[in-house]
Amino acid sequence: MRVLTLLAAILVLATGAAQAQTAGRQRPFIYLINWRGCEQVCAGFQQYFSDRKIGVDIVMRDANQSRSAVAEFVKEARLLRPDVVVTWGNDVTLEAVGRYDSVDPEKHLTDLPVVYMYVAGAAEAKISRSEDRTGRPNLLGTDYVVPLEAQVNAMRTYRPLRRLGMLYDTTQPASVLRMQQMKALSTELGYELIALSIPVGKDGKPDPASLPALTQELRSAEVDFVYFGLSTFLIQRMKQFTALAVEEHLPVFTGGPLPLLQADALLALYVRLDQIGALAGSQVDRILRDPNLRLDTAPIEKTNRFSLAVNIRVAKRLDAPPPVTIARIAEIIQ
């Protein structure tokens, strides 16, 4: 309670300062809500405007992985009346705009343009009504996810895939959704998914102490690859988790760059994080240029520029060199 009271007090001060700064503004005003600080996606979003010399004022807020904080930011956005609100990730977006079939005007943004970025499975999460259009009058989005079938095919090109292991976080809807998607795809593509939920501690958060046992369980299941699912918990512990996997002689595949570039994942097929931010920047730019743009029917911005990379150091440790078909086209990370 004291934490929330302090947050509210800080927001009052910050809102007053922001209102003073934007009262007579001459440039477009963007309100950006992050989930875990301003990382590469956020930086790519800002870079989009910098590279094009588009003058905008961006007020950034960090929820620090607290949904209650997002609710306070929504209230602040209503007071500040930015030209566009930008939301980072599934958790922030769901708190800010709600699911399309359960919007609460008292809680969610309904009269300000919102652009979401770094959201996985927007249609399945009921953020968007389809994969191509949001179908919502104040919402426009981006889609950064490499098709899951392409991800599975990348693993299969590297080595036979009979069993795929995965950990998922039951406290994070996007993580559960990705597990369900990989489960559905397993029937279509003919592999067995060994999906283990990460136990929750007394604090209601995933328990880091469970990672060694979970990794050993995946090893006992004789999985051919471990799929690094969508999870803030795992991203924060990617070095520990991927190192445990290598100790168990398990190769890790990731659909994002960080577990390969900064930890011990073996194989990655991904969209660069700065490109994800730039996609959102282009959507915001569209809104600023055309105030009459119909957001419900405007296309969701997508990319087909994917990067394939192999961590050769990990490949040597696993005694799993990339096959020629992979080595010819992949970036080899030392």
**Dihedral (CA of 297, 33, 283, 171) sign:** negative
What is the predicted pLDDT for the residue at 170? 95
What is the predicted pLDDT for the residue at 334? 82
303 band by pLDDT with thresholds 50, 70 and 90:
confident
24 band by pLDDT with thresholds 50, 70 and 90:
low
180 band by pLDDT with thresholds 50, 70 and 90:
very high
What is the predicted pLDDT for the residue at 15? 52
User: 114-159 pLDDT, tens per residue?
Assistant: 999 999 889 988 999 999 999 999 999 999 889 999 999 999 999 9
The answer to whether residue 8 scores a pLDDT higher than 90 is: no
User: 259-278 pLDDT, tens per residue?
Assistant: 999 999 999 999 999 999 99
Quote the CA–CA distance of 35 and 67 in Å, as a whole number: 9
C-alpha dist (Å) from residue 185 to 55, 165, 166, 269: 44, 14, 14, 17
Please name each of the domains of the chain with its CATH number. Answer: 2-144+274-302 (3.40.50.2300), 148-270+306-333 (3.40.50.2300)
Select from 264, 322, 229, 269 the least CA-distant residue to 149. 269
For the chain, the 3-state helix, strand and coil shares in percent, each to the nearest 5, are: 45, 20, 40
Quote the CA–CA distance of 173 and 98 in Å, as a whole number: 13
**Dihedral (CA of 331, 307, 176, 165) sign:** negative
Backbone angles phi, psi at 310, to 5 degrees: -125, 135
| Terminal-residue alpha carbon distance, the chain | 48
Q: Answer yes or no: are the C-beta atoms of 117 and 279 closer than 8 Å.
A: yes
3-state secondary structure of 167: strand
- Which position has the token pair 């055309």? 290
Backbone angles phi, psi at 214, to 5 degrees: -65, -40
The answer to whether residue 78 scores a pLDDT higher than 90 is: yes
286 band by pLDDT with thresholds 50, 70 and 90:
very high
Q: Are strands 267-270 and 307-311 parallel, antiparallel or unpaired?
A: antiparallel
Quote the CA–CA distance of 198 and 68 in Å, as a whole number: 23
- Dig out the tokens for 111 from the structure: 């009269």
C-alpha dist (Å) from residue 175 to 63, 80, 90, 157, 165: 19, 32, 10, 25, 14
Q: In what order do the strands lie in the sheet with 139-143?
A: 57-62, 29-34, 84-88, 114-117, 139-143, 301-302
Q: Answer yes or no: are the C-beta atoms of 92 and 35 closer than 8 Å.
A: yes
Mean pLDDT for 291-307 is 93
User: 157-177 pLDDT, tens per residue?
Assistant: 999 999 999 999 999 888 999
51 band by pLDDT with thresholds 50, 70 and 90:
very high
Largest Cα span, the chain: 64
Quote the CA–CA distance of 317 and 186 in Å, as a whole number: 28
Q: How many residues does the chain have?
A: 334
- Dig out the tokens for 197 from the structure: 């939920």
HSE-up (13 A, CA, CB side) for residue 235: 14
Quote the CA–CA distance of 286 and 294 in Å, as a whole number: 11
Please provide the average confidence, as pLDDT, over all residues in the chain. Answer: 92
Mean pLDDT for 96-120 is 96
What is the predicted pLDDT for the residue at 181? 93
- Which position has the token pair 């007090």? 9
User: 217-248 pLDDT, tens per residue?
Assistant: 999 999 999 999 988 899 999 999 999 999 99
